[in-house]
Amino acid sequence: MSAWLLENLACPRTGEPLTCSGDVLRAPSGAEYPVVEGVPVLLRDDVPQTIGLAQASLTAAREAQAGRRPDDWFLATVGVSDEERSIAQRLRGENGTVVDPVVAVLISATNGILYRDLIGKVTEFPMPELRLPQGEGRRLLDIGCSWGRWSVAAARKGYRPIGLDPSLGAVLAAKRMCARLGVQADFVVGDARFLPFQRGAFDNVFSYSVVQHFSKADARRTLGEVARVLRPGGECLIQMPNAFGVRSLQHQLRRGFHEGRDFEVRYWRPAELVQAFTQAVGPAELSVDCYFGLGLQAADAPLMGPWRQRLIALSEWLRKGAEACPPLRHLADSVYLRAKRS
């Protein structure tokens, strides 16, 4: 844990500063939080969780603190199936790959259904394009970092990333991956609705494929927290789903256009997104992430088969076309919202 991180952490209940004593962080109010392998676990146990992995992470962190570590990778906290667990164990003995075995089995869960055939098969992973200017040492919070893909992309663009995710196993995989790639980043296990950081700690906040899974009430709460931890003039860039995208409409039709339950995707109208971000953070604008799904990235094309490569190429062509023809933005499945802290 870096000195900057410890100085800027805050109790997710009260906002008080925290002090570190061994493998415990303490708030003046008496609240205590475990630290596992240098990673603070700052989840609240007095609120309903957005995902079951958060409760699993709380349990696993407390067991590890008591000397009852369930396994080296905390697989119970990353949501893998028995088959994926077996794949990870098989990959564990193989050397020479940049991709951590836990990352190899998480790839579809974090990147989308088109990545399903790549589970356990990737030996390298191109980093996506972070659509922000050069970082020049600015602090960036990556909300829902999982195994750290976007944190690595941010570091390579000159930012100092701090990744946050409710999955202890995924965060530890991110830490291992960054160490193997020579990337400097800090990681925290936490809840986006109750960000465990001091007010104004960050220059930028980024999030990909995370807030889309929250209820709209929890999403708005998260945006309020984003505004709180951004410095005045700081910017957020957050990916969200567009209700009018072609694939989005197919998914909504399949589930009968209900609002969404548990960790299902919630679909937002473009005007609704701009209004929510403007009200919570500051002046907001919408841009295209991709078409034909949530998560398609041009950097991943070499990993895909021919038809998926063509789909990614078409998505990129439409994305660039939307810059000249703004109405095309409203047909994208995945969009970015950029907002500047008032």
pLDDT per position as a tens digit, 64-92: 988 888 777 888 898 877 787 787 777 77
List the structure tokens of 244.
Answer: 């009018």
- Kindly list the domain boundaries of the chain, sorted by start residue: 139-340
First to last CA, the chain: 31
Reduced to 3 states (helix: H, G, I; strand: E, B; else coil), residue 21 is strand
Q: Does the predicted TM-score (pTM) go above 0.85?
A: yes
Q: Residue 271: what pLDDT?
A: 96
Reduced to 3 states (helix: H, G, I; strand: E, B; else coil), residue 85 is helix
Q: Which are the contacts of 72, defined by CB distance < 8 A and separation ≥ 6?
A: none
DSSP state for residue 283 in the 8-state scheme: S
User: CA–CA separation, 120 vs 49, rounded Å?
Assistant: 29
Give pLDDT tens digits along the chain (342 positions). Answer: 899 999 999 999 999 999 998 899 999 999 999 999 999 999 999 999 988 899 999 999 999 988 888 777 888 898 877 787 787 777 776 655 557 888 878 876 666 666 777 676 676 777 899 999 999 999 999 999 999 999 999 999 999 999 999 999 999 999 998 998 899 999 999 999 999 999 999 999 999 999 999 999 999 999 999 999 999 999 999 999 999 999 999 999 999 998 888 889 999 999 999 999 999 999 999 999 999 998 889 988 888 889 889 999 999 999 999 999 999 999 999 999 999 998
**Closest to 244 measured CA to CA, from 220, 275, 267, 216:** 267
- 216-265 pLDDT per residue, tens: 999 999 999 999 999 999 999 999 999 999 999 999 999 999 888 888 99
User: CA–CA separation, 140 vs 119, rounded Å?
Assistant: 29
CATH code: domain 139-340 is 3.40.50.150
